[in-house]
Amino acid sequence: MAQVFREDNNSRMLATALLNLGAAASELKDDEQAEALAAESLAIAQQVGEVRTSAMAYLNLGEPAENRGDYARAWAMNRESLSLLKAMEDRYSLSVAAQNLGSVAEKVRQFERSARLLAAATRMLEQTRISHGPIEQERFDATVERVREALGDEDFHAAWAAGSRYTIDQLIAEAAVFEHDAPAPTDERPATEKAADQFGLSPREREVLVLVVDGRSDREIAAALFISHRTVMRHVSSILDKLEVPTRTAAATAALRLGLV
């Protein structure tokens, strides 16, 4: 069909056809083809002033970039879609863009930001009365759980509550600058992080464990990390379970022996 529109010089329909073909390629996990088709669709849509197709093409360009680890480009593509989607009052697609941004933020370990964006996405999706499909819902839930585990319940709920109150303008402002302070985990991570992964320790649990090894009390750890005493107690209990040790002293000894800190 795209070839027919190309031969007829029907640029508007060609842009839409290429967009749909790109989406199909993405479903088939052919990121290279999906990106090429989305890029061509975007170029044509911009030439003829097709705002909706341009917005959706930006969204479609974000996914393959995220899949290959080009997080700056993935962020930029989703960010570019936001102002176009706002003008169209397309809350469903805005929720998709917010979710995509939250996913990228999680991958670069901007966990509080990820929680805010995922909360904004959830609220906008609820306003549409549209639900995710099973596969998309599973992906979303897994991202949320990783963010919750990284932050701890208290910090997670605070960030989520803030994101749930976002207006569209606040969402756009949140997306204005890409922050990549901490790289996503790679094979070049410090040995302590790799060792911690073997025991399923979250980033926050590793921070708590470092302070346990330093001899800090629960209340001192809470003050140092700006979290509640109860949250520290929960993290310590989880650390003991994961390391299979009975006491804080044993956890500190194991952490030093195993190279966890």
Stated pTM of the model: 0.66
Structure tokens at 112: 């509080």
Residue 6 predicted with pLDDT over 70: no
- Per-residue pLDDT at 51: 92
Can you tell me the mean pLDDT for 34-51?
90
Q: Render pLDDT for 190-241 as a digit per residue (tens, 0 to 9).
A: 565 666 677 888 888 888 998 998 888 999 998 888 788 888 999 999 999 9
Separation CA 130–CA 208 (nearest Å): 40
CATH architecture of 191-258: Orthogonal Bundle (1.10)
pLDDT at 184: 43
The residues, ordered by sequence, that sit 6+ positions from 76 with a Cβ below 8 Å of its Cβ are 178
- Integer Cα distance of 252 and 213 in angstroms: 5
**pLDDT tens across 145-165, in order?**
999 999 999 999 999 999 999
Q: Residue 43: is its pLDDT beyond 60?
A: yes
Specify the residue for token string 């952490």: 255
Structure tokens at 202: 């979250």
Show the tokens assigned to 204. Answer: 């926050």
For 20-29, 100-109, 158-167, which range has the lowest pLDDT when averaged over its residues?
A: 20-29
The percentage of residues in the chain with a pLDDT greater than 70, rounded to a whole number, is: 90
The count of residues in the chain is 261
User: If you average pLDDT over residues 95-116, what whole number do you get?
Assistant: 95
pLDDT in tens, 65-99: 999 899 999 999 999 999 899 998 889 999 999 99
In the DSSP assignment, the letter for residue 21 is: H
47/257: higher pLDDT: 47
Please check the confidence at residue 180 and state whether its pLDDT lies above 80.
no
Q: Can you tell me the distance from the alpha carbon of 92 to that of 129, in angstroms, rounded to the nearest whole number?
A: 9
| Average pLDDT value for residue range 22-41 | 88
Domain boundaries, the chain: 1-68, 85-184, 191-258
pLDDT score of 169 more than 90: yes
What CA–CA distance (Å, rounded) separates 184 from 228? 27
The whole-number pLDDT of residue 187 equals: 47
Radius of gyration of the chain (CA): 22
Q: Report the pLDDT value the prediction gives residue 194, as an integer from 0 to 100.
A: 63
Task: Check residue 256 and give left, alpha or beta (phi > 0: left; psi -120 to 50: alpha).
Answer: alpha
Stretch 121-141: mean pLDDT, rounded? 88
Question: What single letter denotes the amino acid at residue 124?
Answer: M
CA distance 51 to 56: 9
Task: For residues 118 and 139, give the distance between their C-alpha atoms in angstroms, rounded to a whole number.
Answer: 12
Residue written as token pair 């593509």: 77
pLDDT of residue 215: 83
